[in-house]
């Protein structure tokens, strides 16, 4: 890692579905103290047993580590643009020095005050997302031409031998991410489908998959 001032990692990687082993990351970071590691854990809180994968609790013992997180994913607050960083105090003070005078709106602060500390509710959302994802993957596996890349995130990674899943789902009002358009992603022909906790979005996605794959109850 010599010659690198900063290395940015995403864990879990929401473009590939890969989740890095926490102990291996710790060893890598501790063995390269001259490099600042910025680990983007934006999707971490959606994982079941996320504590086993996150480096957040190790920030005090690792000086060259910054963790980035967000309320956009598990809390469903992407439009409010709220997140946080934890880690090296010196670097954080430097970031704070150049940040906006009022980084959060009053509306954002209101919602944060009402959701923080409600871990039981967040735990319910996490389990609901996992259950919805499992059900949808089992549904898609009924079509032998569908290939899935199983992962720990709240996203389904899939491709079909003969159908363009992205285009077919878009015609039915479902927006996906075509991974062929993402630089550095090896999984070609795959699309990423985000899974949420709400029954409404689950039913919309389930009905669309049924129609695209011509499945029967």
Question: How many domains does the structure of the chain reveal?
Answer: 2
The two tokens of residue 97 are 């020095």
> Residue 37 is part of which domain span?
6-115
Does residue 40 sit in the same domain as residue 140? no
Q: How many CB atoms lie within 10 A of CB 202?
A: 19
Does residue 82 sit in the same domain as residue 163? no
CA distances from 83 to 9, 68, 124, 181 (A): 17, 8, 21, 27
The two tokens of residue 53 are 């994968």
Does residue 140 sit in the same domain as residue 56? no
Does residue 15 sit in the same domain as residue 88? yes
pLDDT of residue 7: 94
List the helix and strand counts (H, then E) for the chain: 6, 8
Domain boundary (85, 115, 145) is at: 115
Tens digit of pLDDT at every position of the chain (217 positions): 678 999 999 999 988 889 999 999 999 999 999 999 999 999 998 899 899 999 998 988 899 999 999 887 777 777 777 888 899 888 888 888 877 667 778 888 888 887 777 777 788 889 999 999 999 999 999 999 999 999 999 999 999 999 999 999 999 999 999 988 776 667 678 999 999 988 999 999 999 999 999 888 7
The two tokens of residue 123 are 């735990």
The two tokens of residue 116 are 């923080």
pTM > 0.95: no
pLDDT of residue 187: 67
pLDDT of residue 149: 92
pLDDT of residue 202: 95
Does residue 131 sit in the same domain as residue 207? yes
**Cα(84)–Cα(71) distance, integer angstroms:** 8
The CATH number of the domain holding residue 74 is 3.40.640.10
Does residue 187 sit in the same domain as residue 130? yes
**Cα(159)–Cα(16) distance, integer angstroms:** 13
The CATH number of the domain holding residue 132 is 3.90.1150.10
Instruction: Give every CB contact of residue 166 below 8 A, 6+ residues apart in sequence.
Output: 176, 177, 178, 191
pLDDT of residue 45: 87
Does residue 83 sit in the same domain as residue 179? no
pLDDT of residue 184: 64
């Amino acid at each position: 890692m010599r010659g690198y001032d900063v290395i940015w990692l995403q864990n879990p990687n929401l473009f590939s579905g890969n989740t890095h082993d926490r102990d291996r990351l710790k060893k890598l970071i501790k063995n390269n103290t001259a490099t600042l590691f910025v680990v983007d854990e934006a999707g971490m809180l959606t994982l079941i047993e996320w504590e086993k994968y996150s480096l957040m609790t190790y920030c005090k013992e690792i000086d060259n580590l910054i963790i980035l997180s967000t309320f956009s994913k598990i809390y469903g607050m992407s439009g409010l643009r709220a997140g946080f960083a934890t880690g090296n105090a010196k670097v954080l003070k430097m970031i704070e020095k150049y940040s906006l005078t009022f980084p959060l709106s009053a509306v954002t602060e209101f919602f944060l005050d009402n959701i923080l500390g409600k871990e039981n509710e967040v735990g319910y959302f996490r389990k609901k997302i996992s259950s919805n994802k499992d059900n949808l993957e089992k549904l898609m596996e009924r079509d032998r031409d569908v290939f899935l890349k199983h992962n720990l995130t709240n996203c389904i990674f899939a491709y079909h031998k003969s159908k363009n899943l992205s285009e077919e789902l878009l015609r039915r009002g479902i927006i996906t991410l075509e991974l062929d358009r993402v630089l550095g992603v090896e999984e070609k022909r795959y699309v990423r489908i985000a899974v949420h906790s709400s029954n409404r979005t689950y039913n919309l996605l389930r009905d669309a998959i049924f129609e695209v794959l011509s499945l029967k109850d």
